[in-house]
Structure 1
Amino acid sequence: MSVEMTKKNNRVFLPITINRKLWNFDAAMIFLNQVYCEQLDEKEKSRLHYSFCNVKRPIKDKLFQDNIKAVAACIGQVISSHSKIYEDREYWERLFFRCLLYIVYDVQVKILQFEALKSQYRGQEFYTYTKKEFMDKNYFEGRPDSLWTDDYHLWLYTYLAKRYFGIQVEPVEIKGPSVARGEIEKKKNSFLHTLYYKIKKACTSSPQYILRKLREYMYIKIFRGKEEVLYYCLDIPADTSSKWLIGSVGKIQPLQLPLIEVNVSISDELRRDIIFALRNVNNISPIVADIIGRTLPKLYLEEYKYHHENSLHFLTTHKKLKVILSYTGILSCSKETIFSFLAQRRGVKILELQHGGNYELVEGILEQEEYLSDVFYSWSRGAAKPRSSICEILSSPSYKFSYYWDMKSSDRYVLFVGTAFWVYPHYDDSLDDVHKKRYIDRQIEFFSALEKHVRDNLYVKEFYVDYGWHIVSCLTKLFPMLQFLGTEKIATNFSEVDMIDRNISFAEVLTGCRLMVCDHLSTTWREALYLNKPFIMLLDRQTSHFREEALENVRLMEEVGIIIYDCDEAAWLVNRIHENVQGWWNEPTRQRVVKKIREDYLSEVDDIDDWWIHELLRQARK
């Protein structure tokens, strides 16, 4: 039960991880992080003495973004001094911007949490547990993606608590999870199965397949260094790579940077210099400066010189390179990102493809400064394309629809597609996550208004990461007969706790439904549109901020009941059309709107591979 702290329990425990082995269930507890607090089940909530420390979140405004750029430029100066590498300020801003957005904001949130704790619970003595190996760990080492793991958050909470906020931290030795014999056998069998499949494929492949592979190998060898277009981080069919390579006569190839072994230790000198330099940057607190210097991945600091030199050498051997293509590769922390920005500073264009998101409807996404490509390819055509002052917007067909090319369609059930937003929620004075509560309440309202025979034929697919919202478990208690796709599990290493096992693809689910209801803005409805699957978007007026260029089509979809804002109204419509969805969908007025939005929001061609070959070569020679 949530309690006020008193003199009787003035020694209070702080859970700073989702790992419950590092909690003290016998003590009064104060949670700093809502995600950790939501690990408690209903029995624990009524039995335990706990409270939640509320804190307002920092604002990511223009000043915040300018501060990030100043930090990036400062780090770049220090790296240049240490490594004798010189790039202009804009390069460093682009390289570090995305990574620093996350690190700086996360540190600011944790600092505010500790400050609020000290302010709201004066006179209390706080203590916490951490992993034994984190007690004297002055730097967080790991791959760039490890900054999103629970170990990172545990280390950061530990370091801040001990170094800056006078909180007692007690080490606990935790044994690694034992691997069951069955799991070992499963991995062994999986490896043997993969090996068997490769041998079988090599022995049973058709002569045409073998000849094509030999031809690909020859093209790669002959035209290595003569590529005009390189691509990476793309989710495209296997045959497409071959068609691009052969169809372009070797001018379009995957990006394969030379492998280099980099084995360097943390440099105390480099890190100290960065921390010292950052403390002189306006609006950056000494604590934030300290944490940046202790958490930036070695990829960007100790290892950077090697990746920089390797990338420049690669560029000198690829003098004809004009274009780099990816989905969101430039937003990742990788050696390919370093290469991409170095190439961009030397005149190579970065092209980015839309894979998800709802850029054409949602206001402002392509105005964010983290979108650093020169050209962004949207699924939409003509006036329906989004606008951006940062990059050029062009229309293109999408390979995402290739998932559906060989699938057979059916109309067995109604599909409801949900999502989850924001690792750091927004709170009101009652400590409730306002958006989360409203979002889940709207789902409950919709499901409650469905007639029983419709609800019995409903499948629900929530997003596979729910960021601690526990949507599935919450809805299961209220609607025990509701059928959820994918099984729920708890992530053991990531701070976003509830993960849904993706044991079934969205493409399989969508092709099997008679009607899709989607309660958020995403590209989901465009996949339904591509398949000519009837769909309804149940949107919240409070969170649906449309682009000006999308308003005409939005109004048309509202008029024919494709976009609905009221949950009861949407449920009433689903109840009414459940037995004859196609009849409703094919009504002439609605079909005229469907035809228009398909023409506006789906760029389709007869031969997608040929289209992309010509477009990529056009960009390379533009």
Structure 2
Amino acid sequence: MLLVTTPLESTWGADEDIMFLGEWCKLYSRKEIWSKRNYEVLPYHWDDRVKLKKDFFNLQNFNKKIIKELTHILNELHNVKENEHYWGILLGYWVNIFTAVIFDRWTMIDKAVESNKITKCHISNVEENNLAANETSDFIDSVINDSWNQAIYTIIIKLTTNIPVEIIKKDQISKSETKNKQKKSYFKQVLSKVVFNKFTCFSKNNDALIINSYLPIIEELKLQLSLRQFPIIRNFKKVKAVEVDNSFRNWELKDRKPKDNFHEIIKYLLPKLLPKIYLENYKNLVSTVKKTSLPKSPKFIFTASSHYDNSIFLEYAAKSNNLGSKLILADHGGFGCNAFNGAISYQLSVADVSLSWGWQDKDHINVRPFGILKTIGKNQTWDNNGLGLMVLGTMPRYSFDIRAMPIAGQMNDYFTDQFDFYGSLPESIKKKILIRLYQGDLGWDQKKRWQDKFRNVLIDSGKLSINNLLKKCRLFISTYNATTFMETLSLNVPTIMFWNINNWEIHDRAKKCFKELEEVGIFHATPQSAALKVTEIWDNVPGWWNQEETQKARTNFCNNFAKEVKNPIKELTKKLITTNNE
């Protein structure tokens, strides 16, 4: 069989039998093409969720070794003496994504070889100098792109297998048809020009740096005033990109004899894929940070999201942290309920203190419960006679991290659950359910899937905010284990939740609370159960929602995972100051 690794149809041959490496090869929009071929889809290795969790922890340990080696390599390369903690903050999240992605891609090629069904593969010549991203945010965009994955699979096949290959000319390789980028709204574009980084002349050298705190803007300004500093809303542009310079990439990990093909491919790809911001562009990064109008000796640094892929912030935070400024990070989603998550592991590994939305972690003493930040200052209204708002999510067609969420082709199971829920509702209720699509489609063709399945379905494209949509709705329907349902529960909005707990694994610390939510009909483990509950309560949602046992389960959950804090800015100020003085 011909091995096909991506949706790029120029690699599919003419009429050969096909082995698709994964469901990501089969774009819904091209069903009329691939459905006519004789094909098989290779079983996905992480459909074994026990293996997924085991691989997650093994790779977390492996990442520590890589960061340790990179510390020596990069210090020597740049003639600096930064410690391992500095480099861990600066590029730890990238390493987490890199190893997870390459492990996944290598494992699937290995499974294809083990199937003994592959006779050949069509590949293109890869320009390896073009593979390195400028920085982590660009790398994340790359790893869910078809052409990039085609290149990586090609390298792995050539380096670790004996599969016969046929070279396809570069101009025969079609471009990816999917769009992954979300456009910034006009309002946000104007806001960035008018508000961001203004009045920095009033900043003092020992002011706390507060950026992307997950607080509403007005509340973030109040927080800075409460800390007795001039309020500044900050944002950082990217460092100007440079070309690859191979003199910065002439190094390798110390492991002279990799113990398997995975370690061999990591050793080969790491110098080629490490973003330019850590190599060719590192001196420019350091220089840019020095020129910014940031506090020279911040009393502490506080963010909920900038620590993942904002290079200027990361270099500033890493250096300031080594000089004594505490790095205080906050949850920005359903961290407390996820059984495992690479983003959470990175955050807990670098933070002096991690402020949770209410949960505690006996294995990480740096986790300090506080409360939910996103709903501070918000008052949500809804319409007891309005629609039902069903909010959907998507994940990339290719894995980009290891998390307790559907990965790659498992999203097809997620879509099936949504259709089963909607299809189980009476026609009279279906007419009043608004499906809010995830704004970043990521190549799933959400709208077409729904319209092909249900001709008269009400659809919102995802451009309007959930808060505005809720004003016209009687019930919020959550379909995934992440931020949104925590916000609605915290705001006491009538909420029904359902998802497959085999693909959205719940952390042990949260299982008791979810059991209580299930007993009162808020949480459901199957779409059919959720549909029955919606049908039961539809004509009197407040009658169910305001019952004592329903509110008790909601309140208990929120106290642990989405806690409402009275006088939140005052209490957050106190928490930050106390934490900083420890």
TM-score where L is the length of structure 1: 0.75
- Give the corresponding residue for 2:227: 248
Shift in CA distance, 546/282, structure 1 to aligned 2, threshold 3 Å:
same
CA distance in 1, matches of 2:239, 2:416: 52
Query: Which residues in structure 2 correspond to 1:180-329 (within 5 Å)?
Result: 220-227=200-207, 229-250=208-229, 253=232, 265-273=243-251, 275=252, 277=254, 279=256, 285-308=263-286, 311=289, 318=295, 320-329=297-306
- Give the corresponding residue for 1:460: 435
Letter of the 2:152 counterpart: L
Query: Which residues in structure 2 correspond to 1:494-509 (within 5 Å)?
Result: 502-509=462-469
Residue from 136, 140, 143 that aligns with 2:134: 143
Letter of the 1:270 counterpart: F
Shift in CA distance, 593/308, structure 1 to aligned 2, threshold 3 Å:
same
1:480-499 per-position Cα deviation (integer Å, ceiling 9, x unaligned)? 2222321xxxxxxxxxxxxx
Letter of the 1:34 counterpart: E
Q: How far did residue 115 of structure 1 move?
A: 3.8
Query: Which residues in structure 2 correspond to 1:28-427 (within 5 Å)?
Result: 28-39=17-28, 41-54=30-43, 56=45, 60-120=55-115, 124-128=119-123, 130=124, 135-144=126-135, 145-147=137-139, 148-149=141-142, 150=145, 151-161=147-157, 165=161, 167-173=165-171, 220-227=200-207, 229-250=208-229, 253=232, 265-273=243-251, 275=252, 277=254, 279=256, 285-308=263-286, 311=289, 318=295, 320-332=297-309, 334-359=311-336, 361-364=337-340, 368-371=345-348, 372-380=350-358, 385=360, 387-389=362-364, 391-400=366-375, 404-405=378-379, 411-420=385-394, 423=397
- Give the corresponding residue for 2:451: 476
- Counterpart secondary structure, 1:272: coil
Equivalent pairs counted in the alignment come to: 550
Q: How far did residue 466 of structure 1 move?
A: 6.0
Q: How much identity, in percent, do the aligned residues show?
A: 17
CA distance in 2, matches of 1:567, 1:110: 32
Q: Which deviates the most, 160-169 or 369-378?
A: 160-169
CA distance in 2, matches of 1:66, 1:139: 29
CA distance in 2, matches of 1:549, 1:45: 44
Conserved 8 A contact 2:490-2:563: no
CA distance in 2, matches of 1:478, 1:565: 23
RMSD of aligned Cα (Å)? 4.1
Shift in CA distance, 282/296, structure 1 to aligned 2, threshold 3 Å:
same
- Counterpart secondary structure, 1:356: coil
Letter of the 2:483 counterpart: T
Residue from 420, 423, 428 that aligns with 1:445: 420
1:433-459 per-position Cα deviation (integer Å, ceiling 9, x unaligned)? 895455444334332321110111112
Residue from 452, 461, 482 that aligns with 1:522: 482
Residue from 563, 570, 592 that aligns with 2:523: 563
Letter of the 1:418 counterpart: L
Higher RCO (Cα < 8 Å, 6 or more apart): 2
Letter of the 1:232 counterpart: I
Shift in CA distance, 423/370, structure 1 to aligned 2, threshold 3 Å:
farther
Letter of the 1:554 counterpart: F
1:73-122 per-position Cα deviation (integer Å, ceiling 9, x unaligned)? 22221211122111233433443332122222322333333344445456
CA distance in 1, matches of 2:173, 2:458: 37
Residue from 480, 504, 513 that aligns with 1:553: 513
1:559-591 per-position Cα deviation (integer Å, ceiling 9, x unaligned)? 322223344343223222212212222234434
Conserved 8 A contact 1:385-1:395: no
Q: How far did residue 330 of structure 1 move?
A: 1.8
- Give the corresponding residue for 1:183: none
CA distance in 1, matches of 2:284, 2:351: 24
Q: How far did residue 544 of structure 1 move?
A: 6.1
Shift in CA distance, 83/602, structure 1 to aligned 2, threshold 3 Å:
closer
- Counterpart secondary structure, 1:266: coil
Shift in CA distance, 575/282, structure 1 to aligned 2, threshold 3 Å:
same
Conserved 8 A contact 2:439-2:463: no
- Counterpart secondary structure, 1:285: helix
Conserved 8 A contact 1:71-1:278: no
What stretches of structure 1 of length at least 5 have no aligned partner?
Answer: 6-11, 178-186, 203-212, 427-431, 487-501
Conserved 8 A contact 1:127-1:167: yes
TM-score where L is the length of structure 2: 0.79
Q: How far did residue 254 of structure 1 move?
A: 5.2
- Counterpart secondary structure, 2:536: helix
